[in-house]
Homo-oligomer: A and B are copies of this chain.
Amino acid sequence: MKRMKAKIAYDGSGFAGYQIQPEARTVQQELMAVLQNIHKGEVIQVIASGRTDAKVHATGQVIHFDTPLSIPVSGWLKALNVLLPEDIRVLEIAEAEPGFHARYHTIGKTYRYKWDRSPIISPFTRHQMVHTKQRPDVGKMREAAAAFIGTHDFSSFCAANTGVVDKVRTIRRLDFEEHGEELHMVIEGSGFLYNMVRIIAGTLMEVGLGRREAAELREIIRSADRGAAGKTAAAHGLYLEHVEYEN
């Protein structure tokens, strides 16, 4: 038995999210269907670094699966990309180190959130960026972002009805990048609570649009109250970009 580790990308537009569920198209279901096909009917479990919600994209999701087959790496890459639908691509695949686990061994993740600041939303990227009609003050967003860096209880930035008890996480980087009319928030941390990146993005955009002060952020974090933070930004602006593992 070999454990294979793969880096995959997907356009979240056509999926009800990563995780398999009845009567919905999911990334996991498509991956498992193709692996079952390759394994002549045998069900092959696929483990990802974590779930992504409906409409959320990935450019660097990591998965693993176990296989009895001896196929060279280039063969795996080719077979999977031929059999998978075009909105999922396998970017890299390799035999994993012994004991590797895509979910349990993550030590960090990087997400990217994309806004389109064009006066008129582009019809070509409408499922891949969130349009902001009013032009945000990026300087203020950067100023407010500083409050997140470090280790904090992120209860204010977590969907209210989650079962997770320990809400302490570490944010190592939170940058804003401007690429023409695109505005990207890049956030790297030890791990993220449910909806955490989207609530951070939504709250920082409210600062950018002058609806909140940058100075409020530290108090919002301290309050440990979801009601104190801003709205959850839309799913289709979010990309899981990188998953980090110990090596």
Contact = CB atoms under 8 A, between A and B. Distances in A.
A89 interface: yes
A120 B87 CA distance: 12
A69 B89 CA distance: 50
A10 interface: yes
22 contacts: A9-B122, A9-B123, A9-B124, A10-B123, A11-B123, A11-B124, A11-B126, A57-B124, A81-B120, A86-B121, A86-B123, A86-B126, A87-B123, A87-B126, A88-B123, A89-B120, A89-B121, A89-B122, A89-B123, A90-B120, A91-B120, A124-B128
Copies in the complex: 2
A215 B121 CA distance: 44
Interface string A87-108: 1111100000000000000000
Contacts of A86: 121, 123, 126
Contacts of A91: 120
A112 to B, nearest CB: 12
Contacts of A90: 120
